[in-house]
Amino acid sequence: MASLKSIKKRITTVKNSRQITKAMKMVAAAKLRRAQENVTAARPYARKLGSVLRKLATSGGESGHPLVQRENPGKALLVVITSDRGLCGSFNANISKTAERFILEKSADYDELSVMTIGRKGNEYLRHRTKIWKNYTNILSNLNYQTAALIAQEIIEGFLAGEYGEVHLLYNSFKSVMSQDITLVRLLPIAPPEGQEEEFRPEAIYEPAKEELLSELFPKHIEVQIFHALLESIAAEHGARMTAMDSATKNASVMIDKLTLQYNRARQAAITKELLEIISGAESIKG
């Protein structure tokens, strides 16, 4: 049986850990509130902009914009969004394993499949399993639209240069504090809407010209979609960390109760042993 001193030391250590996990849960809850507000505000705009532009891209049977064409169908790019920090349960492991599975399953479909990681955890997992073309770290803690726009411009430039013919985006979308949805979308080329045929399509007058309008809006659409995905991932990360730290705090409390019971039993055994020694000593003196 462990000594009283070692058990007491373990209890103190677990109590300190519980204080840390409880504080981290509170911090994650505060950050989640702000992140959830950002996601709620960004979702309607991102979805509607994507829907409108996909319809514009194919209206009138025209699809000649470069971002709608596959210049190099033999090459593809997978953009994987994870977090920079751990202690958020299976948040990073799930998305990283999904990316690995996508690479294994789709490698036969392409001559070359490149990977871009956003977040340190995804890079650490995938760099030992595939070649990382580009990695971005330390941008999620202070995310702004300009950063997302720069990433989008780099992706667009590579697509227009023919470095890859398809771009897929993989990230965790925020569903609730308890759960996140792994989301895989094709970012480029911009595809027409599926199963949304309208009975009435009014004639549209473009001002300025349609080509000029689309040349401005299509890159903006990619920027918005990446920014939206980053916001979703950040909110999902805080939700996962809040859940993980809450579970860790509860587990620490259970462990403290078990160790306290073990400590009391050990202490009682030590007292009983001392009493028996005293009684035995007294009996020997009488004898």
Angle, vertex CA 180, rays to CA 177 and CA 184, nearest 5 = 155
Task: Assign residue 162 a region (left: φ > 0; alpha: ψ between -120 and 50; beta: otherwise).
Answer: left
* Distance between CA atoms of residues 222 and 151, nearest Å: 10
**DSSP 8-state symbol, 192:** P
CA 225 to chain centre: 16
| Cβ pair 191, 54 in contact under 8 A | yes
List of residues 6+ apart from 48 with CB closer than 8 A? none
* Distance between CA atoms of residues 171 and 187, nearest Å: 12
* Distance between CA atoms of residues 79 and 158, nearest Å: 13
Strand positions, DSSP E, 164-236: 166-174, 180-188
| Cβ pair 180, 91 in contact under 8 A | yes
Q: Which residues, in sequence order, are bridge partners of residue 182?
A: 172
User: Residue 208, preceding bond cis, omega within 30 degrees?
Assistant: yes
Q: Which residues are catalytic?
A: 88
* Distance between CA atoms of residues 68 and 74, nearest Å: 16
